[in-house]
Structure 1
Amino acid sequence: MDQIFSIFVRSIFVDNMVFAYYLGMCSFLAVSKNVKTAVGLGMAVTFVLVCTLPINYLLENYVLKSGALSWLGEDFGNVDLSFLSLIIFIAVVASFTQLVEMAVEKFSPSLYASLGIFLPLIAVNCAILGGSLFMQQREFPNIAIATSYGLGSGIGWMLAIVGMAAVREKLQYSDIPKPLKGLGITFIITGLMGIAFMSFSGIKI
């Protein structure tokens, strides 16, 4: 239980997808102009991460990696399908992204219109695929830890984009030099927020 909590907290603050690895920056920069829209996209990304990481964990450990198919019998003990892992992970992410897109379009048309092309682009959001690849690289011991990592990574990404959106809304009323308006000041703030999040790396969890 302690390990699950540790992974959850670390994935939010220490291993934040945006500020530690700069993953998912396209959506982060483009959709972080409005808090409401940022919250909607953040919740969608969190949902997809929470759903896809456990499924990809099961696929990785019981289908794809070397020896994973040994449960089918001795003849399958040497089968290695790890070369398919990337395309399988993407297929799972794309499937859940389609479900999220249909749900948002049905229940919140205004949010669907606000997100525009960036909602279906969750399928190629490198933060989501990065979560599955980190799960594979770090060899999490069980599905509970993988799920905790997915939830924490999603919340961390949502925290980052909502925080940026809140700052950018305030910046609309600030006197910013003309050359820095728009993406210029956004890049600077992203760097400063990344430096601020580095302070969490000293915490022992």
Structure 2
Amino acid sequence: MNGNLTIGSILLFMVSCVLSNNYIFSRYLGCCPFLGVSSKVETAVGMGAAVTFVMGLASLFTFLVYKYLLMPLNLTYLNTISFILVIASLVQFVEMFLKKFSPVLYKALGIYLPLITTNCAVLGVTILNITSGYATDAVYASNGLLWSVLNGVFSALGFLLAITLMAGVRERLESSKIPEYLKGFPISLITAGLMSVAFLGFVGLV
């Protein structure tokens, strides 16, 4: 990919992040909340929206921390711990915001809201932003920050799509006749596997 920002390149990048390189089905990142918070569509959408917000802001702030703090001081080996601290701060902000303005969603997300801090999808996107060269490669010299944020937001939208689809299927399964030994976690794993195979059809599209 070149570093030029055009409508076409952004759309292709979005399709790649959401479908062909979906964090759940292609990179297997964020599987814990994907299985744990996907029992109801409403809760899944709320979780996906919270993750989208955190991943977008995390991509922004971790890029700035890496390029303008860690790199000049030759402390790039501290990127992981620095990114975790940034993500933890953002999650704390989201938690306080939801607790005040949307207590129902706050209660529905439960333990999984603070666990966004340790969601490997959130940490993964910040590290992949660096390894992809957005902060270091000359080709991204003028717009690396924008690419980094776009990668975070589009990858989060892929997470939102995956967890919402999973929740929709699981709600349908609740009213379906399923053998007793497949109820619960087993049928959820089977469903996730079939969805992953479906998403494999997008590989190579972009």
The two structures have a TM-score, normalised by structure 1, of: 0.90
Hey, what does 2:107 align to over in structure 1?
Answer: 113
Hey, what does 1:186 align to over in structure 2?
Answer: 188
Would you say 1:122 and 2:80 are equivalent positions? no
Q: Give every structure 1 segment of 4 or more consecutive aligned residues whose post-TM-superposition deviation is greater than 4 Å.
A: none
- Segment drifting more, 193-202 vs 159-168: 193-202
**How many Å apart are 1:63 and its aligned residue?**
2.1
- Segment drifting more, 29-38 vs 55-64: 55-64
Would you say 1:85 and 2:79 are equivalent positions? yes
SS in 1 for 2:23: coil
Please list, as runs of the form range in 1=range in 2, the aligned pairs for 1:127-138 lying within 5 A after superposition. 127-138=121-132
Please list, as runs of the form range in 1=range in 2, the aligned pairs for 1:1-205 lying within 5 A after superposition. 1=6, 2-64=8-70, 68-69=71-72, 79-140=73-134, 141=140, 142-204=144-206
Unaligned runs of 5+ in 1: 70-78
- Segment drifting more, 117-126 vs 136-145: 136-145
Unaligned runs of 5+ in 2: 1-5, 135-139
Q: Deviations over 1:38-65 (max 9, x none)?
A: 000000000000101011112222222x
Q: Aligned-pair RMSD on alpha carbons?
A: 1.1
**Residue-pair matches, total:** 192
Q: Is the 8 A contact 1:18 1:25 kept in 2?
A: yes
**How many Å apart are 1:15 and its aligned residue?**
1.1
Q: Deviations over 1:120-163 (max 9, x none)?
A: 11111000001001111111221111111111011100100000
The two structures have a TM-score, normalised by structure 2, of: 0.90
Q: Is the 8 A contact 1:31 1:37 kept in 2?
A: yes
Percent pairwise identity: 43
**How many Å apart are 1:93 and its aligned residue?**
0.5
SS in 2 for 1:200: coil
Q: How far apart, in 2, do the equivalents of 1:5 and 1:56 lie?
A: 24
**Which of the two has greater helix per residue?**
1
